[in-house]
Chain A
Amino acid sequence: MGDRRETLRRYQAIWNGEQPLDTLDEMVTPGFVGHIGSRDRDLSRLKEDIASYRANAPTVRFTIDHQFGDEEYLASRATAHISGQDGNEFTLQGINISRWEGDRLAEEWAVWETPPVSEGDDRVG
């Protein structure tokens, strides 16, 4: 599992703009599928998303807060640190479950919080 955690750390570094996008090719399986909310993306679309994200939100940094897993899956809680135009930082929380084939990321399911609709919006789960 240590190798998987290291691979996810490098995956996060790509999202943070700290590693080249093409290093994804050695981290994920050719048939990779990501489920982001209810939207699906393959490796090609993942690369497009990261490139667009870095171009439009270059100051965002992701950190992993907690991870655990079993033989096939790794679950991670993560935080996106976002600097506003006023210099203040705010954060968004996300949870990601990744499925592995050997040491390669084969599938992931992630949901990131959307801003609460109102105070006290604590519904579901």
Chain B
Amino acid sequence: MIASDSNEALVRRLYDAVWSSDDFEIADELIAEGETHHPHGRTVAGGPAFQKQAASAFRAAFPDARFALEVIVSAGDLVSVRWRCTATHAQTGAKIEDYVGVNFFRIADGKIVEIWDTRDDLGLFAQLGLAPPPAELMSQVYRSEE
């Protein structure tokens, strides 16, 4: 198995075990202690504990969440994925069909050492009825579409 294949397998396992199941402890095998995380373009300290906390909080709100990797690109020490999450919101019963994101991962010595994370949170909020649909917001931003 060449490095990019094993890197891809590592990222797939993160989504399958940690984010689509409740196997949070697997994060210890996949994420380096000193992982650097870039959520929303910021830089914070990551690591397996951070990943476990984030995944367990998300799965508490969306217990049946499933992350499908629709596109995966890997070369050298980098992997990029486009994921789609389907889930049910535990509190309201709302069905989420279309929560998507695109992430970058950098891998070294068999573990993820850096993550760049972008997600369509506005789309998620819209599906929960907490915000107008993105298309409606776009029509307000782009006056020529009114």
Assuming the A-B contacts A124-B58, A125-B103, are A38 and B120 also in contact, with contact meaning beta carbons closer than 8 angstroms in the complex? yes
B122 beta carbon closer than 8 Å to chain A:
yes
B19 beta carbon closer than 8 Å to chain A:
yes
* B65 vs chain A, min Cβ distance (A): 10
Q: CB distance A95 to B80 under 8 Å?
A: yes
Task: Find chain A residues with CB under 8 A from B32 CB.
Answer: none
Interface residues of A in 57-113 (CB under 8 A from B): 66, 68-70, 73-75, 77, 79, 91-97, 99, 109-113
Task: Find chain A residues with CB under 8 A from B134 CB.
Answer: 37-39
Q: CB distance B116 to A53 under 8 Å?
A: no
Q: CB distance A125 to B78 under 8 Å?
A: no
Task: Find chain B residues with CB under 8 A from A75 CB.
Answer: 73, 78, 80, 104
Additional A-B contacts beyond A95-B103, A95-B104 (4; CB < 8 A)? A53-B142, A111-B118, A114-B121, A125-B117
9 A-B contacts (beta carbon < 8 Å): A37-B122, A38-B123, A56-B143, A70-B73, A74-B73, A75-B78, A116-B42, A125-B101, A125-B103
Chain A residues near B (Cβ < 8 Å): 35, 37-39, 48-49, 51-53, 55-56, 66, 68-70, 73-75, 77, 79, 91-97, 99, 109-117, 121-125
